[in-house]
Amino acid sequence: MTTLFKPDTLARLADAGLDPERLPAHIAIIMDGNGRWAKSRNLPRIQGHAQGVNSVRSTVEECCRLGIQQLTLYCLSSENWKRPLNELSFLMALLEQYLIEERQEILDQNIRFSVIGRRQELPEAVLRQIDENIRLTRDNTGMGLCLAINYGGRTELIDAFRQLAQQVRDGTLRPEQIDEAVVSNALYTSGMSDPDLLIRTAGEMRVSNFLLWQISYAELWVTERCWPDFDIATLRLALRDYARRERRFGGLK
């Protein structure tokens, strides 16, 4: 309801041409095209990743200002470990730097920070910063910011099914009790609403193993812009397009 929005949020929504009643509660973004952005400028691929951090910052800030409840960013897939070692090392260092440098801004914005994905392959230094941000923001009440790091949708489902199978084996869960809610609660995103809007940059028309269960009814929006060029104007364009769509969830209007 509009009464839940602060006056400055309503003013910003009006300035963006957005109806508060037709905002997505949860936006998920596949941040693609960092390497292509760099290549088109004759720069090393790592420069694309470095530039992409600016788009992360502006997107997080704008979603907070517009009253979005949840933002999930696909930072590193479980398949990305196939990339060159120097690029992966840079990505880990960049991630650690982001977690440290943005910590105060996250706190100032009252953001609840979380991470999904398998932890075991991540460097200890990165895990320490992840856990510190989670600890410091645990009681915050603002927008949820979730980073998908070493994440894969199929891996998530495998982990969930193993967990449920173990519960059945232990006698704490009967097979006939397994329904959509039980599966959802076994996923990394337990307690989080499903995405309403999935944004993908760089023009690719695929979901790349991202939130496979959760995006069943998400609206998809693709831009040709590479992630380092993704700005507030592009985000607002996606939100206006989303607002014009009719979501029926398999039913009739």
pLDDT tens per residue, range 153-183: 999 999 999 999 999 999 999 999 999 999 9
Residue pair 144/111 in contact (Cβ under 8 Å)? The answer is yes
Residues 6+ positions from 190 with CB-CB distance below 8 Å: 184
When pLDDT is cut at 50, 70 and 90, the band that residue 2 belongs to is very low
Using the predicted structure, report yes or no on whether residue 1 has a pLDDT greater than 60.
Answer: no
Using the predicted structure, report yes or no on whether residue 14 has a pLDDT greater than 50.
Answer: yes
* C-alpha 190, offset from chain centre: 14
When pLDDT is cut at 50, 70 and 90, the band that residue 252 belongs to is low
CATH of domain 22-152+194-241: 3.40.1180.10
pLDDT computed for residue 131 by the predictor: 98
pLDDT computed for residue 248 by the predictor: 75
> Would the pTM of this model clear 0.85, i.e. be above it?
yes
pLDDT computed for residue 253 by the predictor: 63
Q: Give me the active site residues, please.
A: 32, 80
Residue pair 190/183 in contact (Cβ under 8 Å)? The answer is no
Residue pair 164/182 in contact (Cβ under 8 Å)? The answer is yes
